[in-house]
Amino acid sequence: MRKSRVDLGEATLDVEPKQGVFPEQITKNKTIILAKHAGFCYGVKRAVETTKKLKIENPQKDIRVLGELIHNSQVIQELEEMGIKTVNSIDACANVEGICIIRSHGISDSAYSEMQQKGFEIADLTCPDVKKVQQKAIELARSGYLLVIIGKPEHPEVVAIKANAQQYSSNVFVVQDIEAVKEIEPVIAKLQKVGVVVQTTQRIEIFKEITDYLAPLVAELKVYNTICASTSLRQREAKELAEKSDLMIVVGSKKSANTTHLAEILTDITKTIHIEDDNELENYENEIANAQKIGVTAGASTPEDIINKVLDKLNT
């Protein structure tokens, strides 16, 4: 018997910056500054809080997430301890008494339909910004554009965007740099009508570089800058902080695209280290000792308590 979809309603989201226990602290002749926008973005916060709420309200049900809810091992472990399982296939997603959660990165329409056909109770926690990219990609593919998706080919968000667009066109390509664009230039030259979307957590510099390269190649170029506002703000703020810091510390999973992009951007500005939690600080004792002004930022999937532990350790 087919079950109904879980109606999550319209959540009211707190999008104010979540600062740590101290946004700026002077200690041991060092100044430590925490970026105002560090930690969970609204989409991640929504996904994590709703998943926990579903388990609390349905303690007897088997709650499973199709793929990692977010790219943070500490959060995944916390969910596992609550009895919320991460699975890698639709068949393993849920049993007759369970709820299957679609993670923040989204899935393809075909995968969603398969879940419905199998009778799973579904909670769709795809980030609203990711859904917008999927919609724009479908719109371009249906309108006859060769679709270029700027992002990491293996990233689950990009995989889902591509799969949705491919339902309407075979001319869908993922590129992460100029070299990848060059590989599809013969197809671009033939069609002369190109549409572009971009992974929500991509670097704005990469987006601009690729679109600037594409512009003279085609007769028509339709571009949607689908980098989410949180990512743009976080990158801009982190760059400003890096320009006045001797050392930048980026906190978050090395599997998180937006976190690794932050580290890449800041490395070009000042000395930068990327750590997953406070335990890794001991690997950089010299860098920390030699820095008088330290800036700290974190990816959109980094919990506040992990950021605060880093700040606490820097202050001891």
Provide the annotated active-site residues: 157
3-state secondary structure of 109: helix
**Backbone dihedral angles phi then psi of residue 79, each to the nearest 5 degrees:** -65, -40
Structure tokens, 230: 């949180």
List CB contacts of 202: < 8 A, sequence separation 6 or more: 150, 151, 227, 231, 257, 261
Alpha carbon 112 to chain centroid distance? 20
Q: At what angle do helices 257-267 and 229-242 cross, to 10 degrees?
A: 30
3-state secondary structure of 194: strand
- Backbone Cα Rg of the chain: 21
**Amino acid occupying residue 301:** S
| Residue 266 · residue 235 · CB < 8 Å | no
Helices (H), the chain: 42-57, 73-81, 109-117, 128-142, 156-165, 178-183, 185-191, 204-214, 229-242, 257-267, 285-289, 304-314
Q: Among all chains, which residue has been given the structure tokens 């554009």? A: 145
Across-strand partners of 27?
Answer: 30
Count of C-beta atoms within a 10 Å radius of residue 77: 11
Alpha carbon 296 to chain centroid distance? 19
Across-strand partners of 149?
Answer: 174, 197
Vertex 220: Cα angle to 219 and 223 (nearest 5): 145
